[in-house]
Chains A and B, each alone.
Chain A
Amino acid sequence: MALRIEPRRNVTTMTRLLAPVTAVVLTLLFGASLFWALGFEPLTTLYAFFIGPVTTLYGISELLVKAVPLIIIACGLAVGFRANIWNIGAEGQLIMGAIGAAGVGLFAPAGLGMLLLPLMFLAAMLAGMAWAGIAALLRARFSTNEILVTLMLTYIAGFILSWLVRGPWRDPMGFNFPQTALMPADGMLTPLDPRFRVTASVFFALLAVGLLWIFIAKSFAGYRLAVGGAAPRAAGYVGFSEKSAIWTGLLTGGAAAGIAGFYEVAGPLGQISAVISPGYGFTAIIVAFIGRLHPVGILLGGLFLALTYVGGEAVQVSYGIPAHITRVFQGLLLFFLLASEFFTSWRIIRSGGPV
């Protein structure tokens, strides 16, 4: 008797949900055993990692601060991923967005008042789009692999940032720290509550989720992109342009990452320094996958992965466990998700042997 696999004919909402949920559960189980192996009481550590941080209002605010960029970027990336456009360099686009926002904030003439924030927003978005646009141009014009180009551009963006904050943009009053001056008050978002760091960016994240939903579930543009991703030859057959899919996919991701950069600069950071993101651009890829490129999934996935950040910080503070465990968890989560997806798209059956 041999085992055979065959594609599932009906993929229900239940089986769709199964993979991410299984992946989360497996990651938790693995996390518990990892804590145990490191010599910690698994359940309490797990509690400290995943539950403890969100038992306070402050913790929830911090969770949202981390979730906002993840959700915004993942919504943008999902558009490209649906079209099989692999923008892996959202981190670089976020950096360029932050630079764009900071540039306007630092150098725009004073007295713009209410106009400053929208200008920073616009500059960040355009900077992110421009950075992703390089990859789009090269892919559309020369079919250059966008995975490698967006990644290389991420490293280059890092060097540009480093040059700016150590060189021309360094805060002259900053005791030689590699960072710019703080944004002017008009260029800062006011926290929703003075006790916390979370700003109105949460509403923008929700807006991004809503826009993604309309794009995917209703719009013809979203339909064309999905056809191109699922069956490129079918897209060619009816004349859906591959080039416009490349541009749409990459520019949307770039815009979203740039906007996330704006919210970092105008929100929790208030300036740019040599390191401005704990890998949001990369983690957002996992958010998009764990959310199965669906807006609601991305919302939940963004919250969960934000939890791995705050949890990592929490266990570092209280147990001295290195915060890098966050990355391990994130990688594992993606591993488990990819493995679980197998069971939702295939059925394992016993192939009937000879009677």
Chain B
Amino acid sequence: MELWIAIFAGTMTAATPLLLAALGEVVVEKSGVLNLGIEGMMLIGAAVAFWLAISGWGLPAAFVGGALAGLLSSALFAALALLFMANQSASGLALAIFGTGLSAMIGMGFGSQPVATLKALDLGGLSDLPLIGPLLFSFDPMVYLTLATVPAVWWFLTRTKSGLILRMVGESPENAHAIGYPVLKIRLAAILFGGAMAGLAGAYLSVAYVGIWVENMTAGRGWIALSLVVFAAWRPWRALAGAVLFGGFTILQLHGQILGLPLPSEALSALPYLATIIVLVAISQGRKRRLDVPASLARPYRPGA
């Protein structure tokens, strides 16, 4: 029983960075922009947050700093994708490569110094309840905050006029421009939001999930988050489901030996990546899904060009 509770708790914390990054990317892609650079933005966010944490700025500052770092790095991508109408795949890739290098440079001095990680929220008696306590009321505040972001993003995209405008910019920037909406500003806002979310995801990884600096510590989570967006058909609730699923695979890898799975540890480590491929294949089957894809995804646009 204890093991299963640990697996559930681990799943939720492993899902949190994936979900943060994926929710950000949902908004970015709904505006018609494909930012492949999540991995880079997460790494930069992770490094900056870790640096703030070991320099004694406190964890709130670390998270804010991580988000800001992600936001700033996404601005680089925005300049290429929006201003210079560059190929978005290539621009995202550049960001991923750049982020890998920059984060490693920032992290050079961290050594193997640990930081005090984010603590679980103390909800008094609630956390002490049997079963329900450890299952529902013993997470750190970022987990709850991330879960709250799901309905917020859903509500924004489907129930508000601003969300409608954002989605329409992703469907046809030409039409949105024709009826007077500032396409580039809207897309910039979406990209910056996605960058901040990815930065936050990286911060969570370094100062809440792991607690020490490891080079390339995202280990492909940025790319998995991208796959999640496709898996989720650009819908926040399904992103939550997907993140939990992938979080589960990550945890399975940690607990695999305990559970007595007769596999080498490398096979278990490869599981989340293998699962991503399988899931991608499974979801590319449906024909109806084409309607979910933002019609102008990854197509460069500038008014009047």
Binding site for B on A (CB under 8 A): 4-7, 86, 88, 138, 142-145, 147-149, 151-153, 155-156, 159-160, 162-163, 166-167, 282, 285-286, 289, 322, 324-332, 334-335, 338-339, 341-342, 346
Contact = CB atoms under 8 A, between A and B. Distances in A.
B97 A330 contact: yes
A147 B302 CA distance: 25
B96 to A, nearest CB: 8
A346 B108 CA distance: 41
Given A142-B284, A155-B219, 17 more contacts: A4-B305, A5-B305, A147-B89, A148-B277, A152-B277, A153-B273, A153-B277, A155-B270, A156-B274, A159-B266, A159-B267, A160-B270, A324-B101, A330-B101, A334-B97, A335-B94, A346-B305
Contacts of B267: 159, 163
Contact of A149 (B83, B89, B280): B280
Interface size class of B (residues with CB under 8 A): 35 or more
Given A152-B223, A156-B273, A159-B269, A331 B94 contact: yes
A334 B93 contact: yes
B101 A167 contact: no
A276 to B, nearest CB: 16
B281 A142 contact: yes
Nearest to B289: A143
A346 B273 CA distance: 40
B191 interface: no
B243 to A, nearest CB: 16
B216 to A, nearest CB: 10
Contacts of A285: 93
Nearest to B264: A163
Contact of B90 (A143, A153, A289): A289
| Contact residues of A: prevailing secondary structure | helix
4 tightest Cβ-Cβ pairs between the two chains A and B: A331-B98, A327-B101, A334-B94, A342-B84
B277 A331 contact: no
A342 to B, nearest CB: 4
A160 B285 CA distance: 28
B227 A148 contact: yes
A325 B274 contact: no
B228 to A, nearest CB: 10
B101 A325 contact: yes
Contact of B84 (A155, A159, A163, A338): A338
Contacts of A289: 90
A241 to B, nearest CB: 19
Interface of B: 36, 40, 76, 79-80, 83-87, 89-91, 93-102, 104-105, 108, 219-220, 223, 226-227, 230, 264, 266-267, 269-270, 273-274, 276-277, 280-281, 284-285, 302, 304-305
Contacts, number: 136
A331 B102 contact: yes
A332 B94 CA distance: 7
B82 to A, nearest CB: 11
Contact of A148 (B101, B226, B274, B285): B226
A331 B37 CA distance: 11
A324 B102 CA distance: 7
Given A155-B220, A322-B108, A338 B101 contact: no
A32 B108 CA distance: 20
A145 B105 contact: no
A304 to B, nearest CB: 15
Contact of B284 (A145, A163, A342): A145
A6 B305 CA distance: 6
B105 A328 contact: yes
Given A155-B220, A335-B80, A322 B304 contact: no
Given A142-B285, A152-B274, A160-B266, A338 B304 contact: no
- Tell me which of B79, B97, B99 has the highest count of chain A C-beta atoms within 10 A of its own C-beta: B97
B266 to A, nearest CB: 4
A327 B257 CA distance: 36
B104 A163 contact: no
Contacts of A167: 264
B98 A327 contact: yes
A152 B80 contact: no
A309 to B, nearest CB: 12
A153 B273 CA distance: 7
Contacts of B280: 138, 144-145, 148-149
Contacts of B230: 145, 148
Contact of A341 (B86, B97, B219): B86
A341 B226 CA distance: 26
A339 B79 contact: yes
A283 B139 CA distance: 40
B93 A88 contact: yes
A127 B101 CA distance: 29
Given A149-B280, A335-B80, A346-B305, A156 B102 contact: no
A162 B266 contact: yes
A159 B90 contact: no
Contacts of B97: 282, 286, 327, 330-331, 334
B273 A341 contact: no
Given A6-B305, A152-B220, A324-B108, A335 B273 contact: no
A133 B83 CA distance: 36
Given A151-B223, A338-B94, A331 B270 contact: no
Given A153-B277, A155-B273, A328-B105, A338 B87 contact: yes
Nearest to B81: A338
A342 B87 CA distance: 10
Nearest to B282: A142
Contacts of B84: 338-339, 341-342
Contacts of B83: 342
B281 A138 contact: yes
Nearest to B108: A322
A153 B275 CA distance: 11
Nearest to A286: B97
Contacts of A138: 277, 280-281, 284
Contacts of A332: 98
